[in-house]
Amino acid sequence: GAVVSQHPSWVICKSGTSVKIECRSLDFQATTMFWYRQFPKQSLMLMATSNEGSKATYEQGVEKDKFLINHASLTLSTLTVTSAHPEDSSFYICSARDPSVPSGANVLTFGAGSRLTVL
């Protein structure tokens, strides 16, 4: 099946620094990828939709200047958390539509997630 690779799996950084998370589709091309954030004991919250070759679409309440998304190729999307603060500590997960499922089905295949801790 379709595989999405996400790196790093965990990262610890100091407050005020920036952190980049990479999401790669390994055996398929993904024109669209989705970035989620999950706080402990809470659901996945869609942050933004990453579109290859164009600007990302951010959900309401998500600061686009803080969470920079770049989708420069058909297999790579990156999320950069700029000037990170402790409240940004969370589990960030990327996903893409599974191409092995018939078109029209929004079946997502997820990366392994990146756990960010901001000190």
Partner 1 sequence: QKEVEQNSGPLSVPEGAIASLNCTYSDRGSQSFFWYRQYSGKSPELIMFIYSNGDKEDGRFTAQLNKASQYVSLLIRDSQPSDSATYLCAVNGLTFGEGTQLTVNP
Using rule CB under 8 A, residue 109 touches partner 1: yes
* Paired tokens of 52: 């290859």
CB of 62 to partner 1, least distance (A): 14
How far is Cα 32 from Cα 54, in angstroms, rounded to an integer?
10
Q: Are the CB atoms for 47 and 61 separated by under 8 Å? A: no
113 is a contact residue toward partner 1 (CB under 8 A): yes
Nearer to partner 1, 20 or 115 (CB): 115
Under rule CB under 8 A, residue 93 binds partner 1: yes
Instruction: Please tell me the distance from the alpha carbon of residue 70 to that of residue 78, in angstroms, as a whole number.
Output: 5
Q: What is the C-alpha to C-alpha distance for residues 112 and 106, in angstroms, rounded to an integer?
A: 19
Cβ proximity of 15 and 84 under 8 Å: yes
**Residue 103 in the binding site for partner 1 (CB under 8 A):** no
Structure tokens at 70: 């770049």
Binds partner 1 (CB under 8 A): choice among 108, 117, 118, 119: 108
Instruction: Provide the mask over 26-65, with x wherever binding to partner 1 is found by CB under 8 A and - wherever it is not.
Output: --------x-------xxxxx-------------------
Where on the chain is the footprint of partner 1 (CB under 8 A)?
Answer: 34, 42-46, 93, 97-98, 105-113, 115
